[in-house]
Amino acid sequence: MAQVSHVADEQITSSTSPSNSITLRIARYNPEKDDSSKFMEFTISYKKWTTVLEAILDVKKYFDHSVAVRYSCRQATCGSCGMMINGKPRLTCFTKISELDSDVVTVEPMNNFPIIRDLAVKFERLFDSHHKIKPYLIRDDSEIPSETKEFLQSPEEVDQYLQFANCIKCGLCNSACPTMATDSSFVGPQALAQAYRYVADSRDKGKDSRLKIIDESHGIWRCHFAGSCSQVCPKGVDPAMGIQFLRGYLLGFRS
């Protein structure tokens, strides 16, 4: 199905930048009706700052409002709009069409996630795994009032985990992970990176319980260090490195 957009010119008031057009291919799939996914094609004009999410929303607004898509903040903070863009997991709100350097932009739902419909996927497995590793500070005196009412840390102690605290739970790392594709019980790079975030936090005293949770047959040892999780993270988190650090604890190289 090919359709021509008259949209972008109406929407974008500035005319200082030249406008180009691309073919936007959107995967359509309704698990309740369809046997397999199919692609619908739309011709969309764009400016150099147009994001893939804006192009999808143009399609929804002017061509086919039934395209299912999840998004919220539009500024790479909420982690809602992860999708496969030209075969790579990316945030659609953080990916400009101009930087893809392609006349055809293919948008599909993230790999390794069950599809709700079209581009929207279920996050239950990611959130369950995240919850499983106890993503909060564990210490006996956390509820005891003190004069300072805070647990002081040196800048060096903060540096140990800070990049891992940037995780927005978008699921791109889990989508890129080859183990997630075959092992439906694997805890995943997102949860493992968050396990390291809390294990490395000097305020936390729950290291042993967390290491025990990830030290099982579908836990940390099923990571093959492909490193694709770190490649796709939009926030600069390096889950592969966190996983290696966690292995260091389990193998006795770190304490």
Partner 1 sequence: MRESTIMKIHYGTALAAIALVAVHILMRLTMGFAESLEYQSVLANYKFIPYAAMLELILILLAVHGFNGLRVILLELKQGRIYEKSVSYGCVMAMIALIAYGSNTIIMTNMGLI
> Least distance from C-beta 221 to partner 1, angstroms?
5
Question: How far is it, in rounded angstroms, from Cα 180 to Cα 174?
Answer: 6
First to last CA, the chain: 59
- Distance in Å, CB of 144 to partner 1, minimum: 33
| Burial bucket for residue 208 (CB in 10 Å: 0-12, 13-18, 19+) | exposed
Smallest distance from partner 1 to CB 133, Å = 15
The nearest distance, CB 104 to partner 1, in angstroms, is: 34
Quick one: 49 or 253, whose CB is closer to partner 1?
A: 253
CA atoms of 193 and 126, how far apart (whole Å): 12
Instruction: Tell how strand 2-4 and strand 38-46 pair up.
Output: parallel
Shortest reach from residue 22's CB to partner 1, in Å: 38
The upper half-sphere exposure of residue 133, i.e. CA atoms within 13 Å in the direction of its Cβ, equals: 28
Task: Output 30 or 182, the one with its CB closest to partner 1.
Answer: 182
Q: With respect to partner 1, which residue has the nearer C-beta, 40 or 211?
A: 211
**Contact assessment for residue 135 and residue 198, using Cβ atoms and an 8 Å cutoff:** yes
For the CB of residue 127, give the shortest distance to partner 1 in the complex, in Å: 19
**Closer CB to partner 1, residue 179 or residue 230?**
179
- DSSP assignments along 162-225, one per residue: GGGGG-----HHHHH-HHHHH-TT---HHHHHHHHHHHT-TT---HHHHHHHHSSTTSGGG---
Q: Which residues bind partner 1 (CB under 8 A)?
A: 179, 182-186, 215-219, 221-222, 250-251
Structure tokens at 94: 């953080």
When the beta carbons of 221 and 225 are compared against partner 1, the nearer one is 221
Name the residue nearer to partner 1 (CB basis): 82 or 188: 188
